[in-house]
Chains A and B, each alone.
Chain A
Amino acid sequence: MDEQKVKFSIVVSGAPYGSQSASTAYQFCASALLAGHEISGVFFYQEGVLNASQLVSPATDEINLPDFWAALAVQYNFPLEVCVSASLRRGVVDPQEAQQLSLEQFNLKAPFVLSGLGQLAELSARCDRLVQF
């Protein structure tokens, strides 16, 4: 399998700041893509859902991981799926959920999308390797 293109699905469980694991996941994805492999999708779960908040605002000389994810996903055209139940519990909300829950605000960053755990099953089914961070 070394020589051929491999499809990866990635599970990100760590927040964009406070622990390293989401950064490690990003570096892994960037390296895999640079080597010509494919990312079927990244599934953000647990604290990982915070990567999808458009309110993440680090100092200007620091890495903005949500921006990095968004740029990589657009460049290589893969989905950033965010577990909806894990997101709502942690205050990451899209316009549709905000309306349904009568919340005044929403903060999901594009092109992240809220999706169910079924989407993880889908990513699991259509990849060659699943990697968890």
Chain B
Amino acid sequence: MTEKKVGIINRCLPHGSAQGRESLDLTLAMSAFNESLSLFFINDGVYQLLDGHSPEETLQKHYQPLFKMLEMYDVENIYVCEASLKQRSLSSKMLLIDVTLLDKQGLQQKFALQDQLLSF
């Protein structure tokens, strides 16, 4: 049986909810069992990767450094919605890790390849 392609879609800002952190926990854990994971950051989810989080005074956990573990865990398919970045006056240079930018068609194509989708 071939491994299922699982797409994990991040849509929320960090720290206001645990969505981003619990998505990252899930991704890192699942990567031990599945080498066909793809990560997507769309809409407000792009802020998950904006370098320089400092949530200490908000009593929230500073989980952003864990995104650097993705490479060690061989999670290499990391896609960011170009339009979502642009709409928020952000660029890929401002992000913590190397990502692949995708336009609408690119995202649709990658989504369609996935056997399963989880969104946060």
* A–B interface present (Cβ within 8 A): yes
Question: Chain A residues in contact with chain B, CB under 8 A?
Answer: 11, 45-46, 85-86, 116-118, 120-122, 124-125, 130, 132
For B30, give its contact among A85, A86, A120, A132 (CB under 8 Å).
Answer: A120
Q: Are A11 and B118 in contact (CB under 8 A)?
A: yes
Nearest Cβ distance between residue A133 and chain B, in whole angstroms?
11
Cβ–Cβ < 8 Å partners of B34 in chain A: 121, 124-125
Cβ–Cβ < 8 Å partners of B25 in chain A: 85, 117
Cβ–Cβ < 8 Å partners of A120 in chain B: 26, 29-30
Q: Are B22 and A124 in contact (CB under 8 A)?
A: no
Bound form: Cα–Cα A117–B37 in Å: 14
Q: Are A124 and B116 in contact (CB under 8 A)?
A: yes
Contacts between the two chains (Cβ within 8 Å), count: 42
For B33, give its contact among A11, A118, A132 (CB under 8 Å).
Answer: A118
Cβ–Cβ < 8 Å partners of B30 in chain A: 117-118, 120-121, 124
Cβ–Cβ < 8 Å partners of B4 in chain A: 124-125
Q: Which residue of A lies closest to B18 (CB)?
A: A46
B6 within 8 A of A: yes
Which residues from 1 to 26 on chain B have a C-beta closer than 8 Å to any C-beta of chain A? Answer: 1, 3-4, 6, 18-19, 22, 25-26
B72 within 8 A of A: no
Q: Are A118 and B32 in contact (CB under 8 A)?
A: yes
Top 6 closest pairs, chain A to chain B, by CB = A117-B29, A121-B33, A130-B116, A121-B30, A46-B22, A117-B26
Bound form: Cα–Cα A85–B116 in Å: 23
B119 within 8 A of A: yes
Bound form: Cα–Cα A46–B30 in Å: 16
Which residues from 54 to 90 on chain B have a C-beta closer than 8 Å to any C-beta of chain A? Answer: none
Bound form: Cα–Cα A132–B6 in Å: 13
